[in-house]
Structure 1
């Protein structure tokens, strides 16, 4: 079972991954563009850290679309042969307790 701390940590890691992906010139342009677009709608680190609900339910409801789209992007990237083994592993760790 995923704990609230694991979920919070992985949501923060998800934001960090979108930041990295949107700036990575070695990635396909459409992945960078999609990452940047999602990052613009993703909850801030402060919002994730400051959410008083231990289960993060208010944030997960408010940001359901962007969290779901981010999860989908991470899964599609992991499945792509163009994804490096290091990135594939990093995304797996993020997805383990994501949303």
Structure 2
């Protein structure tokens, strides 16, 4: 069984994911388009609640992006989904 990340670990992973997206224009542009952000206000948005969960949600929305990100860090891709859940709180059906 994979251990669920702590909040600090989930935040650190999301920041790594943001750096991964920002390292290539073809990665960051779709994220900016989806969120309505631009490079000038990206840093400010990073401090907003839910932003880091949105970064991980974006990474997880594309299998190829998720596999590339997880592969670069030698992580099980499921960790990204676990970290997103930690940052965004429980889903309505997670109350078991």
TM-score normalised by length of structure 1? 0.48
Query: Which structure's relative contact order is higher, taking Cα pairs within 8 Å and 6+ residues apart?
Result: 2
